[in-house]
Amino acid sequence: MAWVVLVVSGMLEAVWATALDKSHGLSRPIPAIVFLVALAASMTGLGVAMRSLPVGTAYAVWVGIGAVLTVVYAMATGTESISALKVVFLLGIVGCVVGLKLSH
């Protein structure tokens, strides 16, 4: 169950990171509210997952999921360019996250 909570929390990290960008320094109310709610939920989930997972593993997986999904979303919406090297390095992050899960 901790892994499911951690994955959802990592996904929420991508939501709050994207909402923070769209809030333009927290000056737009709706994206700012989405940022705050997603941030609180993401951090809460991370904390819950850390009750039974090692801090280093949990944090690395959480950050990895959030980072990859944030970049993939930016690429999908055209706000970030796509390149073969970026895809290779993102796959490397995914591989490392899966490796941490398998080695747990």
Give me the residue label for tokens 């939920």: 41
pTM, two decimals, is: 0.91
Q: Is the pLDDT of residue 40 over 90?
A: yes
If you count them, how many residues does the chain have?
104
Q: Which domain holds residue 28?
A: 2-103
Pairwise CA distance, residues 69 & 2, whole Å? 20
DSSP letters for 22-68: HTTTTTSHHHHHHHHHHHHHHHHHHHHHTTTS-HHHHHHHHHHHHHH
Structure tokens at 101: 């899960």
Number of domains observed in the structure of the chain = 1
Give the pLDDT confidence of 45-102 residue by residue, as tens digits: 999 999 999 999 999 999 999 999 999 999 999 999 999 999 999 999 999 999 988 8
Which pLDDT band holds residue 9 (cuts at 50, 70, 90)? very high
Average pLDDT over residues 22-48: 98
Q: Is the pLDDT of residue 103 over 90?
A: no
